[in-house]
Amino acid sequence: MDVDDIRADLTEVLITEDEIHAKLAELARQVEADFEGTTPLLVGVLKGAVMVMADFARELRVHIDMDWMAVSSYGASTESSGVVRILKDLDTDIAGRDVLIVEDIIDSGLTLSWLRANLESRGANSVRILALLRKPESIKVDVPVDYIGFDIPPAFVVGYGLDYAERYRNLRAIGVLAPHVYQ
Ligand code: 5GP
């Protein structure tokens, strides 16, 4: 789905498909260098990180393993609840592994800060975080992020895996959802 298919549902296009791909390539070069000599386990956070994971993993020119977790997020609301529940756990034993969490967006930081502690408690050798988007003005807990794509304003965004009530995940770009859609 392209921006032109749902133009009236967006107030603004924040990041184009080309900009996303260029940024993921840049981050991939950093990750290749930082993880040299080890095979990282990429942990994608369902469902929002599906597109980031698919494109980022293919940018990497080295072997990786891939696994997925699903944790509770907002449902159909646009505000962070701070409640984190595991809906789907990893299939992989991560003891001794170098883990790279792949996330779509850091809003309050609550989800990632919980997830990092959870994975560290399982005996991972290292746990790093890659997030395509971050809203610096919304951060409630400080979570060190190793790889960041873009800092964005504290608006509710959709596209490239990010949904509103399960819609817009297949939008190629990232845009700000118009209030008339959710009010
Ligand atoms: P946090 O725990 O950092 O507040 O929230 C992280 C999760 O909230 C993300 O993985 C995502 O599912 C959801 N989220 C936060 N901000 C947005 C947003 O602007 N748009 C959408 N679609 N989801 C968001």
Q: For ligand 1, which residues put their CB under 6 angstroms from it?
A: 48, 73-74, 80, 103-111, 156-158, 162-164
Query: Which H/E stretch holds residue 111?
Result: helix 110-120
User: Which of the four pLDDT bands, split at 50, 70 and 90, describes residue 111?
Assistant: confident
**pLDDT surpasses 60 at 161:** yes
Q: Active site includes 107?
A: yes
Of all protein residues, the one whose alpha carbon is nearest to atom 11 of ligand 1 is: 105
Cα(78) to ligand 1 centroid in Å equals 8
Catalytic residue among 9, 55, 104, 107: 107
Q: Structure pTM? A: 0.93
- Write the pLDDT tens digit of every residue in 1-59: 999 999 999 999 999 999 999 999 999 999 999 999 999 999 999 999 999 999 999 99
Q: Where on the phi/psi map is residue 152: left (φ > 0), alpha (ψ -120 to 50), or beta?
A: beta
| Alpha-carbon torsion (30, 146, 122, 66), positive or negative | negative
Structure tokens at 5: 């298919």
Would you state the pLDDT for residue 164? Answer: 97
- The residue assigned the tokens 């997925």 is 68
Please count the other Cβ atoms lying within 10 Å of the Cβ belonging to residue 47.
Answer: 16
